[in-house]
Structure 1
Amino acid sequence: MTPEQLRDVVRTAVAAAVDRGALSVEVPGEVVVERPKNPEHGDYATNVALRLAKPAGLPPREVAERIAEELRAHPGIASVDIAGPGFLNITLAQGALGRIAVQAVTAGEGYGHTAVLAGQKLNLEFVSANPTGPVHIGGTRWAAVGDALARLLETSGAEVTREYYLNDAGAQIDRFARSLLAVAHGREVPADGYAGSYIGEIAAQVLAAEPGLLDRPEDEQLQVFRKRGVELMVAEIRSSLAAFGVHFDVFFSETTLHQSGALEKAVARLREQGHVYEADGAVWLRTTDFGDDKDRVLVKADGEPTYFAADCAYYLDKRARGFDRVVIMLGADHSGYVGRYKALVAAAGDDPDEHLEILIGQLVNLLRNGEPVRMSKRAGTVVLLDDLVEAIGVDAARYALARASVDQQIDIDIDLWTRRTNDNPVFYVQYAHARISSVLRNAADLGLALGEAADVDASLLTHERENDLLRAIGEFPRVISSAAELRAPHRVARYLEELAGTYHRFYDACRVLPRGDEEATPLTTARLWLCAATAVVLRNGLGVLGVSAPERM
């Protein structure tokens, strides 16, 4: 019996107590079932009696006793104890706990999937690095975390569109084009331009595609470098992300907002709603009415729209495409952006708490021998996605970046993440999967197979380490759903590390395969199912993080 199934059992017990007149309450739609910290307190605990005491008009322990009476009659429950002010500590019947392994193996790739976010249509925007250079390590963190979050949300039933916003209009693109032009002519890059050998590489590619370009008028050259340079940079960004296992459903061009009239339509809509005014020759949005620290310019006095105007048009475009919620992942240097974006959502007539979500991530440092690694071969002082992958590999990079809460600054130690030892977290988890794969291969060599689910005697899994592992496997769907709701992929990584440790302790204490002339027994089969179930969870959990589950290491 999984925690999800036990929640239904507890709700049914409450409903039964209500039906027979033992309680006069409304049956709760959700109940909390958790693993107690002390295993001696049972397999699971629930606080449902404390929650229902006040509406029932009874002491919590009395409510607990009336619910316990119903629970004790369930064939999958061995015992129910009342603890403290009214907690219900539940011990499952041995067969019920053991069936968790069978359920996990039977569900396979679907184990851990829930419908807690079903019906939600989300637009998840992440990375969105300007197409003026390769993806740096900050954007790489968002690539790993954003892709893991998208997988988590989908696993929990949401419909997710992964979107990359290309800031391919404006002053930074002008500086990029001027930098390419300067390098192509053998001149110094402008003081406000972009440095790094990649500028020379892009310029050379443009010249190769446009023979005779440098003989044309310089303003024409600049336009070509602007157009082709951005195209080449976007192609490189997409290639780097794809090699990192990150694929986007939509690459949205800011330029299209300017060309389609979307900016003018956005300003007109905001004006109709009474939030736009003119002052000092500029057009302003009165964002202070919605909690912003100052009003924001939409169109400058020279008639040029601002980046904020593009943000307004872009948000309205997403909503027009039918997304219930716009989720945006930004670096720490954009923390001041949150207030103004919430204000624009409110000015557009939406609820910022319902239709908008902004996640802010902290910095990443790359260390070697305890010292920061700052130099990139291609970008000068910036560490790139490709640099990180070259240093520690895709799996380690994705795992390391997704393993910590995004609101924490993290250090990635190259020495640690390249070790093939248990202090390397991704190796530790992957090795557990490889170890199980080896056990299952050896079992097959001995002619042992899992067989049919109905034939497994899961009640034989009575060892303390077996029970620990079963309870851990049963927690996986809850971990996935809570990580999705909290936007916290790092919870999956930490869970996988705990699961790997639980499996290693089980393996050291419980012999799985027969030795020598020993005959296989029903316990052998049950333990093989337990191993296979653990492999399913490790594989599914690593898959959520975009990390491979090797069968050999």
Structure 2
Amino acid sequence: MTPEELSAAISACLTQAVAAGEITVDVPDNVRVERPKSREHGDWATNIALQLGKKAGMAPRDFAQLLARRLAEVPGVGAVDIAGPGFLNITLDAAAAGELARTIVEAGKQYGRNETLAGHTVNMEFVSANPTGPLHIGHTRWAALGDAIARVLRASGADVTSEYYINDAGNQMNVFARSVYNRMHGQPVPEGGYPGEYIKDLADIVEAQAPELKGQEEDAVLAQIRELAYKAQLEDIKKTLADFGVSFDVFFSETALHEGGAVADAVARLREQGHIFDQEGAVWLRTTDFGDDKDRVLIRANGEPTYFAADAAYYLSKKDRGFEEKIYLLGADHHGYVNRLKAIAACAGDDKDKNIEVLIGQLISVNGAKLSKRAGNIIELRDLIDWIGADALRYSLARFPADSPISLDPELLKKNTNDNPVFYVQYAHARSAAAARNAAAKNVTRDSFDAGLLTDPTENELLAVLGQYPSVVAGAAEFREPHRIARYLEQVAGAYHSWYAATRITPVGEDEAVAQVHSSRLWLNDATTQVLANGLELLGVSAPERM
């Protein structure tokens, strides 16, 4: 019996009690069950009697007694005890608890996936680094977290489009192009330009693709150099992201907003909404009506649009493309963007508390990390991947809430010890895969299964932990917190290692015959393998079968 099945059983008992006239109360769609802090208090607990007792005009403990009598008759429920003012502690019989192993194995990759966010259409934008240089440590956290959040949202039924906003407009691109031009001609870096060695690499690429551009006046060739260097740098960014296991459904160009007239259209639409005013020759959006600290200029007095105008046009583009919910993942230095982005949503006629969500991530540091020789003044993501490994880096970044600063210890993350969280979890998966191979060598198969044979205390504990996985996934999606998955997988690994040490999947020695208990334990072993693999996949981390 899964926690979801137990929740449904409790709801059914409540419905039956209402139909029998024993209680008068609205039965909730979902009854929350959770693991009690002490295993002596049963397998699962619920406080539903405390929630509904007074509404039913009863003392919560009396309500609990009425519900306990019905629950005790549910197949698979071994015992129901009432604690304190009305907590229900529920113990499943061994067979009902053990059936979860079969459920997980048969569900395979689908186990844990749910429909709690079905019907939600989400655009999630993250990373969105300027295409003027390589990805660096500042982008690393959102690459890992953003991709993991998108994965858990999809696992909970949401329709998610991951999007990378390419800031390829504005003066920065001209400075970028001049930097490449100067490198092509052996000239110093222009004022405010980009000094890294990667600029020399881009200059070589541009010269190889269009040798006729070298030696000409800057003004005559700058646009062509900008386009070629930009495309080469964007491909480098995409390659680095791919090496990190991150892919995007859409790469959206800021330039396309301007060239397609989206910025002018956005101003016109916002004016129709009644939130635009003109002052001193400039066009303003009255964002203070919706919590911003000051109104924002959209079009300067000289007729030039601001970055904020592009932000407004971009938001409206997402809305026009059918995304009811827009999630922005921004860096630690973007706190000031929260209210202004929400104000854009409100000015566009959306609900700023429902249609837009802005997540701010804190900085990370890596002990001993060195500035990139190629980029010169940053720590490149590429170098971190080569040094620490994509798996260790992604797992570690997903293991903490986004709003908490992180300091990573690369030497720890490269150790094959239980002190290294990613090794601890991956080793549990590899160990369970090895156990299955050993079982096959000893002729232990899953041809038979008797859930009632899984009676060892460590089996009860492991089954209970495995049963929590669907609710952990749903919670991670609801709160945009993939660290819940990582911390949960460490619990699974701990429970598995304890079970592995206490029981045997294969017969001992040559004299012991293969018995049904061995086959039944293989089901539990393989169920653990599946949950670990499913959870690691949501974090974008591999599940090795050998280590």
The TM-score normalised by the length of structure 1 is 0.97
1:88 aligns with 2:92: no
Partner letter of residue 500 of structure 1? A
Match of 1:544?
Answer: 538
> Contact 1:71–1:77 at 8 Å: present in 2 too?
yes
SS for the counterpart of 1:194 is coil
> 5+ residue gaps in structure 2?
none
Cα distance per residue 1:111-154 (max 9 Å; x no partner): 00100001111001111001011111121211111111111011
> Contact 1:512–1:527 at 8 Å: present in 2 too?
yes
Match of 1:446 among 442, 449, 454: 442
SS for the counterpart of 1:387 is helix
Cα distance per residue 1:249-287 (max 9 Å; x no partner): 100000010011110110001111111111122111010
Q: Partners of 2:35 and 2:195 in 1: how far apart?
A: 54
Cα distance per residue 1:510-530 (max 9 Å; x no partner): 122112121111111111111
> Contact 1:99–1:458 at 8 Å: present in 2 too?
yes
Map 1:293-304 to 2 at 5 A.
293-304=293-304
Q: Partners of 1:506 and 1:280 in 2: how far apart?
A: 74
Match of 1:469?
Answer: 462
Partner letter of residue 442 of structure 2? L
> Contact 1:119–1:157 at 8 Å: present in 2 too?
yes
Match of 1:410?
Answer: 406
Q: Partners of 1:463 and 1:447 in 2: how far apart?
A: 23
Match of 2:147?
Answer: 147
Q: Partners of 2:116 and 2:454 in 1: how far apart?
A: 31
Q: Partners of 2:5 and 2:101 in 1: how far apart?
A: 14
Match of 2:394?
Answer: 398
Distance 1:188 1:215, change over 3 A: closer
Cα distance per residue 1:353-392 (max 9 Å; x no partner): 1100111101111113xxxx24112122311110110101
The alpha carbon displacement at 1:247 in A equals 0.9
Match of 2:372 among 373, 376, 390: 376
Range with greater deviation from structure 2 (277-286 or 185-194): 185-194
Match of 1:527?
Answer: 521
> Contact 1:374–1:381 at 8 Å: present in 2 too?
no
Cα distance per residue 1:384-411 (max 9 Å; x no partner): 1101101011111111111111111111
SS for the counterpart of 2:163 is strand
Q: Partners of 1:21 and 1:34 in 2: how far apart?
A: 28
Match of 2:416 among 420, 444, 451: 420
Q: Partners of 1:174 and 1:276 in 2: how far apart?
A: 31
Map 1:204-219 to 2 at 5 A.
204-219=204-219
Cα distance per residue 1:190-243 (max 9 Å; x no partner): 231112110111111111111121232311221122111111111110111111
1:514 aligns with 2:510: no
Partner letter of residue 358 of structure 1? V
Range with greater deviation from structure 2 (510-519 or 356-365): 510-519
1:187 aligns with 2:187: yes
> Contact 2:126–2:143 at 8 Å: present in 1 too?
yes
Match of 2:73?
Answer: 73
Match of 2:253?
Answer: 253
1:487 aligns with 2:483: no
> Contact 1:465–1:509 at 8 Å: present in 2 too?
yes
SS for the counterpart of 1:411 is strand
> Contact 2:446–2:522 at 8 Å: present in 1 too?
yes
Q: Partners of 1:264 and 1:191 in 2: how far apart?
A: 32
> Contact 1:430–1:549 at 8 Å: present in 2 too?
yes
> Contact 2:162–2:250 at 8 Å: present in 1 too?
yes
Q: Partners of 1:169 and 1:201 in 2: how far apart?
A: 22
SS for the counterpart of 2:354 is helix
Q: Which runs of 4+ in 1 moved over 4 A?
A: none
Q: Partners of 1:550 and 1:438 in 2: how far apart?
A: 10
Q: Partners of 1:138 and 1:507 in 2: how far apart?
A: 41
Map 1:182-331 to 2 at 5 A.
182-331=182-331
> 5+ residue gaps in structure 1?
none
Partner letter of residue 412 of structure 2? L
Q: Partners of 1:474 and 1:50 in 2: how far apart?
A: 24
SS for the counterpart of 1:55 is coil
Q: Partners of 2:293 and 2:189 in 1: how far apart?
A: 37
Q: Partners of 1:311 and 1:212 in 2: how far apart?
A: 37
SS for the counterpart of 2:89 is strand
The alpha carbon displacement at 1:542 in A equals 0.4
The alpha carbon displacement at 1:444 in A equals 0.7
Partner letter of residue 380 of structure 2? L
Q: Partners of 2:85 and 2:379 in 1: how far apart?
A: 55
Partner letter of residue 359 of structure 1? L
Partner letter of residue 467 of structure 2? G
Partner letter of residue 440 of structure 1? A
> Contact 2:462–2:495 at 8 Å: present in 1 too?
yes
The alpha carbon displacement at 1:183 in A equals 1.7
Match of 1:497 among 481, 484, 490: 490
Q: Partners of 2:472 and 2:70 in 1: how far apart?
A: 28
SS for the counterpart of 1:54 is coil
The alpha carbon displacement at 1:552 in A equals 0.6
Q: Percent identity?
A: 55
Range with greater deviation from structure 2 (177-186 or 349-358): 177-186
Partner letter of residue 432 of structure 1? A
Q: Partners of 1:60 and 1:193 in 2: how far apart?
A: 70
Match of 1:56?
Answer: 56
Match of 2:17?
Answer: 17
> Contact 1:432–1:504 at 8 Å: present in 2 too?
yes
> Contact 2:507–2:518 at 8 Å: present in 1 too?
yes
